[in-house]
Copies of this chain bind each other. A is one copy, B any other.
Amino acid sequence: MKIQNVAIVGGTHGNEFTGSYLAKFWQKNPKLIKRIGFETKVVFANQKAFKNVSRYIDRDLNRACSLTDINNPNKNSHEDKLARELNSKLGPKDDKDKNCDFVIDLHTTTANMGLSLVVSDESELTWLSVSYLAKEFEELKVYRWLGDEEDGYVNSLGSAGFAIEVGAIPQGVLRADLYLKTQELVYKLLDFFEKFEELKDSVKREVSIYDHVALVDYPRDINSKLTAMVHKNRQDRNFQKIKKGEPIFMTFDGKTINYEGKEELYTLFINEAAYYEKGFAMCLAKKIEHKF
């Protein structure tokens, strides 16, 4: 494990202001992210979407970074081009010798996910970092999202990395508390990389995580239009258990729909604005002790 190049990516989604403004801030104040022993670059990923206060212009950049799409010459939307540029900066994804050893991709969510990490790779460096941060930040939650779409994530371009997700925060809004929290997490991670050789052997090789199981869509009619919304008893209950028979949705005429799954799982990313169009109302995960 070598750590020579780290990238902080902000503004992957243009309407997630925390990462966008932090990227701009660090580009102006590079000393704050300078550490001994490695280079840290800051990438302000989708400036056009930021100016437009939208998640993306043509397609979701954080789903556009799969090797198939990057190598597809017919993919030429705004975000397809950005994905190729990012691949040059951070990857190449299909080369073992990458330009970036760790990608920190900054996100926010309208779900009250608090301070959380979304992890979608199995590299040792990623998990050592996750475990270290979980010990440093008591409130930090870890969601391993494997099995849906993660091949297209921006952080999949480097050798290791994850996405930081903080919320609840509306699109197009800055919240000082979550801005500071994100900043603090990034600084702590850079400090860890600086002292990596000294610290790595003391990091616990086990961490409590929420492991992705499934996506749950909103109830819809035959034209795919919503017929219900997240039930008020489920709203905001991220990282909490859901049991069979508990309310999960409420139809527009006020009828309760209960959760029918047999397994006791945890609900995450409840009512994230960007996921209405993707077709899911929340994620289900199981809580496990992940050893690596």
> Mask for A19-50, Cβ within 8 A of B = 1, else 0?
00100110001000000000000000000000
A194 to B31, CA, bound (A): 67
Q: How far is the CB of A22 from chain B (nearest CB, A)?
A: 8
Top 3 nearest A-B pairs (CB, nearest first) are: A170-B170, A172-B273, A110-B170
**Chain B contacts for A238, CB-based, 8 A:** none
A residues with a Cβ closer than 8 A to B are 21, 24-25, 29, 53-54, 110, 168-177, 179-180, 226, 229-232, 235, 250, 252-254, 271, 273-274, 276-277
This chain: how many copies in the complex? 2
Q: Are B176 and A231 in contact (CB under 8 A)?
A: yes
Chain B CB within 10 Å — which of A168, A174, A271 has the most? Answer: A174
| In the complex with contacts A170-B171, A174-B271, A271-B173, A252-B180 CB distance below 8 A | no
Residue from B21, B171, B230, B235 within 8 A of A172 (CB atoms): B171
Q: Are B21 and A175 in contact (CB under 8 A)?
A: no
Q: Are A176 and B110 in contact (CB under 8 A)?
A: no
**Chain B contacts for A252, CB-based, 8 A:** 21, 24-25
Q: List 28 A-B contacts (CB under 8 A).
A: A21-B226, A21-B229, A21-B252, A24-B252, A25-B252, A25-B253, A29-B253, A54-B54, A110-B170, A110-B172, A110-B173, A168-B170, A169-B170, A170-B171, A170-B173, A171-B171, A171-B172, A172-B273, A172-B274, A172-B276, A173-B273, A174-B226, A174-B229, A174-B271, A175-B230, A176-B230, A176-B231, A180-B254
